[in-house]
Amino acid sequence: MNQITAARDRILAGSLAALSDGELLAALDAAPLAGEEIAILAWQTPAELTARGIKPRHAASVAAAFELGRRGAWSPPKKGAPILQPDRVAELMRPIAHADREEFHAILLDVRGRLIRSECVAVGSLSQCPVDPRAVFRPAIRENAHGIIFVHNHPSGDPSPSSQDVDLTDRLRAAAEIVGVMARDHVIVAAGGYFSFVEAGRWSRR
Query: Which residues share a beta bridge with 169?
Result: none
State yes or no: pLDDT of 205 exceeds 60: no
Q: Model pTM greater than 0.75? A: no
pLDDT, residue 12, reads 81
Contacts of 129 (CB under 8 A, 6+ apart): 101, 102, 103, 104, 122, 123, 152
- Give the residue, 116 or 124, on which the prediction is more confident: 116
Residues 64-84, mean pLDDT to the nearest whole number: 78
Length of the chain: 206
CATH number of the 86-196 domain = 3.40.140.10
Domain borders along the chain are 3-73, 86-196
Q: What is the pLDDT of residues 22-72, one digit of tens each?
A: 887 787 887 778 777 777 777 788 888 888 888 888 888 888 888 777 666
* Main-chain phi, psi angles of 149, to 5 degrees: -120, 130
Q: Where are the alpha helices (DSSP H) in 74-191?
A: 86-92, 94-97, 133-142, 163-179
Q: What is the pLDDT of residues 123-161, one digit of tens each?
A: 988 777 889 999 999 999 999 999 999 999 999 989 999
